[in-house]
Amino acid sequence: MTRAPFAKESSSTGEWKRQANRFTGRISTASKSAPGEGPDADGLWPVEPGRYRLIVSLACPWAHRSVIVRKLLGLEDAISLAIVDPIRDERGWRFTLDPDGKDPVLGIGYLSEAYLATDPQYDGRVTVPAIVDTVTGLVVTNDYPQITLDLSTEWRAYHRNHAPQLVPADRTELDQLIAEIYADVNNGVYRCGFATSQEAYEAAYDALFARLDELEIRLMDREYLLGDSLTEADIRLFTTLVRFDAVYHGHFKCNRQKLTEFPNLWAYARRLYRRPAFGETVDFDQIKRHYYVTHDTINPTGIVPKGPDPRAWES
């Protein structure tokens, strides 16, 4: 019997079914709470610069989205950033990169401490990204798709001058595209890697490469996915593309071809990489160590491959 990487999220047919996000609070300009107060009756927390802490792993593609958007929008002073060790132990994500192994603002050693303070019964995976309230120490949200959208729409008053408009006023095309990219690409690589039956793996692999073929054609005559300007869709695609050859191609068996063998996608990914918010937030060492060391059902030796040469990204 194949050992499932996360047994609770594996179906009887061997498909990987990602857990739901437990904490779905939002920080919003519509909140009726005063500064310093908790969420209002609708679960909306007040927008307050300096109050919230974004907890990420630089290895994690879902967290990487929020790091890129925060930097693109110039929200570094408004929302502080905590970076966990890319290697989890049996208690999960830990602040071992910080002095004394504790987050200097929240004073906790493990992200699970904030999760359990918020919901003492919580028994799912403790995940990044998460936004934690520094006043109460409670988790506001680990709802990663909403986190980046809200940085764009709810924190406008604190964006830098000339910040890009990542979420267009008419969201129809954006929403359609990010749903497809999520299903077949962002989560698709995990559905390949975490499948526990041949059929489930092959179905995920076929859907992934069919979608990449479509995106390759889409990028033939445009700079960004939606045309002339950078949007949330580009950020979401980039975080999977940048991990593709280093991790997903080998570790998750997404190996019909490499990113470098898709001319348009590769050129597009490198164009994005040249922007500081993208390139400066990529840490290949943490990315590779996280995947190859912590998924021991997939890579029991824990050996981290030396390649590929990251200098290809600079070319």
Cα distance between residue 164 and residue 151, in whole Å? 12
- Provide, rounded to whole angstroms, the least separation between the CB of residue 110 and ligand GSH: 12
Considering only residues 238-277, where is the footprint of ligand GSH by CB under 6 A? none
Q: Is 282 in the site for ligand GSH (CB under 6 A)?
A: no
Report the residue from 38, 43, 74, 92 that binds ligand GSH according to the rule CB under 6 A. Answer: 92
Residues 19-38 contacting ligand GSH, CB under 6 A: 19, 21
d(CA 153, CA 166): 9
Give the nearest distance from C-beta 59 to ligand GSH in angstroms. Answer: 7
Q: Is 128 annotated as a binding residue?
A: yes
Minimum Å gap between C-beta 36 and ligand GSH is 27
Answer whether 66's CB lies under 8 Å from 42's CB. no
Stretch that binds ligand GSH, among 124-132, 164-172, 200-208, 299-307 (CB under 6 A): 124-132
Closest CB to ligand GSH among residues 182, 224: 182
Alpha-carbon span 148 to 174, nearest angstrom:
14
Q: At closest approach, how far in Å is the CB of 127 from ligand GSH?
A: 3
Residues 293-312 that bind ligand GSH (CB under 6 A): none
Q: How big is the site for ligand GSH, counted in residues (CB under 6 A)? A: 12
105 a known binding residue? no
The contact pattern for ligand GSH, residues 41-80, with x = CB under 6 A and - = no contact, is: -------------------x-x------------------
181 vs 230 by CB, closer to ligand GSH: 181
Active site residues: 60, 190
CB of 78 to ligand GSH, least distance (A): 23
* CA dihedral of 30, 28, 17, 265, whole degrees rounded to 10: 120
Residue 222 binds ligand GSH (CB under 6 A): no
The interface with ligand GSH within residues 150-169 (CB under 6 A) comprises: none
Q: Annotated binding site: which residue ranges? A: 93, 125-128
Which residue ranges make up the site for ligand GSH (CB under 6 A)?
18-19, 21, 60, 62, 92, 125-128, 142, 144
